[in-house]
Structure 1
């Protein structure tokens, strides 16, 4: 299995397009850094009366919450009030206004969608290209069963996705440190979940944030891999996966406004951050429910991939 993965990994890096993808990702991060640096504002004066300021802010938020009819808005106001109260009780002034390295790393996470785009392209071609070039026959004449061959290709795709995410995180951290510097003091990230606030190391929070925001990418990569395997068509896999990457959330949100069954759609469950820093798309949804749905979709995608690949006649 390891040798098969190494072989697939070498195939990916023999293609000039792979280095073009990496270069685009780095240049895009650099561009975001330059724009952020240009828009950066100097740190404001420290608010010595921050406790009173937060209390006044809470009073205003309570009034807005009472007047609001939107459940999403009410949840947001409630979250801000709880966090402000936690700051007051534990003597934690609001985070410094100076933009720093970790602020940039979090902003750069928007480029995860770019890593998803590139990984989908790799996933869509890793199987279909073998059929198009006729090299699939050379793979199957080896004394290795088809399941191992297909599994090695999928593991390679996942490794490539993690590799691109690592580049994004590491380069944005290095670039952020150079352009914006480190924070003046170690301030914990206040994590709000289920009505409670906990303190979390900012780096740990960012790793979790990147991980949860990568779930949608991983599921679409798995779907692109499935389409590539079942239909042997990389163009179809790329086109459909990218279309859903950019529009799946919007269509699901529209359906969720009128239909409760929208919670069973894949894209209603890919954003697990909605349970940590937001509001579930459909009433009654829980993180456990979304994880179960993701596992079901994951199993279906792989069942179709391995079933078709093992049954397909490639002799002709």
Structure 2
């Protein structure tokens, strides 16, 4: 399995687009920090300190999600569009292992981007913002909150990438997978808010994708709890992976 993941990882980084996406992440993250500094200098939004900025890296989630979805949508679909699927599936390796290696590679890529973005976020927080009163940047509580928010932010990346991976695997279309994934991401919260008065809202995927809501207090639906959201997301993830597995394993190699 490790060899398969290594192979997928090497294939991913042999593409110029992967390096471009990493560069885009760095530029966008640095740009956002610069914008925050400008806003701070204009006296808007209150005084921001480096400790405040470090403790909330959740803004990284949106950029990483968009880039990870692109990889997730195409990692299987591209094998069909490029005609390499026949060679891939005729190898003496079980199909579920091939699929799993691709899925794990997608999420490793997402985590890698998250860490790169986090490093840039911290770097510019230190360079652009002054230390404030109260807890210093050396305090464990600051870093504990920071890493916890980073982990919660990755939740939406993982769920959306899994959905994109499933659509790309089933329909063999990266454009469809990207389109549907971004539609869910950008409109999901609005749909949940509109249906928040109804019981069904508690069981919709998009209601639970943003796990940072439990820290910010900006709940889409009242009375949600973290354990309940994690349970609902787990069910969706299992269903997505089962659909991907069933389709990929049973698909005709000449398709």
Settle same-fold status: TM greater than 0.5.
yes
Structure-1 separation of matches of 2:140 and 2:221: 28
Structure-2 separation of matches of 1:279 and 1:140: 46
Stretch moving more, 231-240 or 266-275: 266-275
Structure-2 separation of matches of 1:302 and 1:174: 37
User: In the alignment, what sits opposite 2:196?
Assistant: 256
Asked if the contact 1:120/1:224 (under 8 Å) is kept, the reply is yes
Structure-2 separation of matches of 1:276 and 1:32: 22
Cα RMSD over matched residues? Answer: 2.3
**Residue 176 (structure 2) pairs with residue 236 (structure 1):** yes
Counterpart of 1:133 (choices 71, 77, 82) is 82
Gaps of 5+ in 2: none
Counterpart of 2:129 (choices 159, 170, 180) is 180
TM-score normalised by structure 1 residue count: 0.74
* Matched length: 252
Asked if the contact 1:33/1:104 (under 8 Å) is kept, the reply is no
Q: Which has the higher contact order (CA 8 A, sep 6+)?
A: 2
1:229, CA displacement in angstroms? 0.7
User: In the alignment, what sits opposite 1:83?
Assistant: none
Gaps of 5+ in 1: 44-96, 189-198
SS of structure 2 residue aligned to 1:127: helix
Asked if the contact 2:58/2:212 (under 8 Å) is kept, the reply is no
TM-score normalised by structure 2 residue count: 0.90
Structure-2 separation of matches of 1:183 and 1:280: 29
User: In the alignment, what sits opposite 2:163?
Assistant: 223
1:184, CA displacement in angstroms? 5.4
SS of structure 2 residue aligned to 1:7: helix
1:187-226 equivalences in 2 (<5 Å)? 201-226=141-166
Deviation readout 1:251-305 (Å, 9 max, x if unpaired): 1111113x22111001112233333441654344322221111110010000000
SS of structure 1 residue aligned to 2:195: helix
Structure-2 separation of matches of 1:15 and 1:181: 39
1:106, CA displacement in angstroms? 4.8
Structure-1 separation of matches of 2:249 and 2:42: 61
User: In the alignment, what sits opposite 1:40?
Assistant: 40
Asked if the contact 1:260/1:282 (under 8 Å) is kept, the reply is no
Which is higher, the Rg of structure 1 or of structure 2?
1
